[in-house]
Every structure is written in structure tokens, then in C-alpha cells.
Amino acid sequence: MLQQNLNLWILPDIGSFSKFGSPCVWNRDYHPSDEAFEKFNSHQAYRYYAMWGAAILYLLGLATFLVCSIFGMIGCWRRSTKIVLTTALLMLFSVMFLAGSMACWHLVNYLERHVLDVPPFYKSWEPLLKQTTKLSYGWSYIVSWAGIGFILLASTFMLLSYKKIKEEEERAVEVKRAPYMVSNYYDKTSAMVPYAYGTYAGYGAAYPPYYGQYMNTMGNAGYYGYMTYAR
């Protein structure tokens, strides 16, 4: 009977066995019972959702970075500007997911150490236990932020690669198009001739104007001739 009760108490923590033979640890922080979840206050609920947010965003960041790695190798091999640009943008999304995951983790850490005053969190401990406890970040924390920084740096390099490949393609198009371009040896400004009757390129009359023999006599009021009968 004692062994049966002990198994009932242990099984919810250990969980079932996986196909590989190792036990699946059942974390009550991520999977609380319905009775325990109903008793959560607002800060405990924030901690619960922030924990899930950190895990989900971290998985999304890793999955996005895996896709970026595949697209990046294909883009560099084919020298495709579209694939390189897509890789750079996906890397930025990966950085956003991973940074969001770390932000959620920091929120959980802050709530556990400075806000929550219910067991088993830090503020509910005995003063002697608090004095003899030392809290510090491990090497994995530093490696996580360093990895996010390197991904951001790689995204910047991919954007620069996209710009350089684009410029190289534009120069190649100009080189191919250059033999088909006809040079203009004429000055277009001097070729523009204003329209004027009896003038040649604006340098005066080359020929006498038509009906020039009537110009001197049309001013005479006593003359009766062509186009003067209506006076």
C-alpha cells in the first residue's frame, strides 16, 4: 500500500517512458493541474504565460534559423539576389524570435525573484536561506546572447552581399548593352532651329521675303493695288 501511494506521488513528476526508454520529466510549472491553475494570482499567470512564450519563441527562432541556413547556402551557390535578400530578412525574424524568448525568460526571472512572494519562490524563503544563497548566470546565458548577436551580424552581412551582387548584375547588364549604343556626335542644342519666316537658323534672311516688292508701297495711302481695295 505504501509503495502504491509512493508510485502515485512520483508518477506525475516523472511521467511516462519515451520510445527510447528514458523517462519523460513532467514539469509542473509548464503543466500545472487545473486546481493549481485556478488558484494562480495575476503575477503567477504572467509567469506561466511568459514561460510558454519563452519556449515557443525559442523554438520558432531555431526553426527560422535552420531555414535561413538552407536558403543561405542555396543563395550563395546560385548567386541569387532574391534568395539572399530572403535569407537576410528571415535572419532578422530569427533574431526577433530569439530576443523575444530571452526577454520572456528575463520576465520570468524577475517575477520569481522580486515579485512573487508565495512558495517556492525567493521572496517566501527564510532570511537565513536568502543570506546563504548566491544567484548567478551560467555560461549558457552568455552563449545565448552571443549567438543572437552573431545571427544579427550574419543578417547584416547578407544584406551587404545582396547589395553588392545587385550592383555587379547591373554593371554586367550595362557592359552587355554598351556595344549596341550609338554615340551621338552632334550637338543637340545647336540643332534646335526656331521657326521664323524668311530666316535660316536665326541668322537673318537668306532670301528676300515673298511679295517683298509691295512692302514699300503698302504704307502709301494713295496706292490702290493688291489687298488694298477694302480700304
158 in a structural domain? yes
Beta bridge partners of residue 17, listed in sequence order: 23
3-state secondary structure of 17: strand
182 in a structural domain? no
Structural domain count of the chain: 1
Q: Which domain holds residue 78?
A: 42-126+146-176
Largest CA distance in the chain: 148
Residues 127-144 as b or e (16 or more Cβ within 10 Å = b): eeeeeeeeeeeeeeeeeb
Mean pLDDT is highest, among 3-17, 47-61, 106-120, 196-210, for 47-61
229 in a structural domain? no
164 in a structural domain? yes
121-138, pLDDT tens digit by residue?
A: 888 888 888 888 888 888
Grid coordinates standing for 165? 551582387
User: Is the pLDDT reported for residue 6 higher than 80?
Assistant: no
Return the residue matching grid coordinates 552587355.
176
131 in a structural domain? no
Q: Average pLDDT, stretch 3-31?
A: 55
Angle at 101 between CA 64 and CA 133, to 5 degrees: 145
115 in a structural domain? yes
Tell me the pLDDT band of 2, cut-offs 50, 70 and 90: very low
165-199, pLDDT tens digit by residue?
A: 888 888 877 777 766 665 655 555 544 555 454 45
Cis previous bond, 120, omega within 30: yes
215 in a structural domain? no
195 in a structural domain? no
Beta bridge partners of residue 23, listed in sequence order: 17
Distance CA 36, CA 28 (A): 10
Lowest mean per-residue pLDDT among 6-10, 112-116, 178-182, 214-218: 6-10
Per DSSP, the residues of 119-133 read TTSGGGS-HHHHHT-
Q: What is the DSSP letter of 222?
A: T
Contacts of residue 196, defined as CB under 8 A and 6 or more positions apart, other chains included, come to 202
Grid coordinates standing for 148? 543572437
